[in-house]
Amino acid sequence: MDLPIRCDPCQPPDCSVTSVMAAHGLAVWLHMVCISGAVWSQGVDLNFVQNDGSVHHALMAPHRNPDAIPPGFEIRLNAEESGDSLWLISTVQLPYGGYIISANCTFDYLGKFQVIWADTSMVRNTEWREEPAAELAMEPFEAQLVPMLLKDTEVATHLRVEPGLAAASGELFMVLEPQCVPYRLPFTMTRSETGWSVIQGRLVAALQH
């Protein structure tokens, strides 16, 4: 079947023909709503995409394969210190047509951008900043506007670290849409005489088979 299957970030996907066809219509509409961010962020000419559906179809093909990371989807991590403030910086590069629900979304979506720590008694997230800022777009399954990362974005997470902490392990977690695949990126932050640094692992799909 040649339709992009969409799913609720909080629920298992419903792959019936009816739900797939309905999701296809919603996904196309959502794409048109968000196209100014999702397309322009990838450097694709809008008129070219509109006038040549086969190009758009081909560029969206990776989102229909849950077993492969779409080309262009990358995340780089580093630590920044300013006075007594410590930030984890996640530079998120999105693939064509891809988007992620913002960490600043107030709805309880399990698939939104998250930083999860192994020991929350030693390090906690206290604030999120995004550059450029997330944009409001329609979440089709709940039919409500939510903030989404539609462009390549730098996500800064302010950290509260207990005194004396020399290392902290955690992972990023998010669902990439419309591929509807959860991804995780493990990392370790370490402190030396010169300050904090980040050793990141490999971005992998977190699907359970």
Check pLDDT > 90 for residue 3: no
pLDDT in tens, 121-169: 999 999 999 999 999 999 887 889 999 999 999 999 999 999 999 999 9
pLDDT band at residue 57 under the 50/70/90 scheme: confident
Q: Which residues contact 191 (CB under 8 A, 6 or more apart)?
A: 165, 166, 167
- Half-sphere exposure (CA, 13 Å, Cβ side) for 202? 4
The predicted pLDDT at position 141 comes to: 79
**What are the boundaries of each domain within the chain?**
13-209
Quote the CA–CA distance of 122 and 196 in Å, as a whole number.
15
- pTM higher than 0.85: no
Quote the CA–CA distance of 39 and 37 in Å, as a whole number.
6
pLDDT band at residue 53 under the 50/70/90 scheme: confident
**Greater model confidence, 36 or 191:** 191
The predicted pLDDT at position 179 comes to: 94
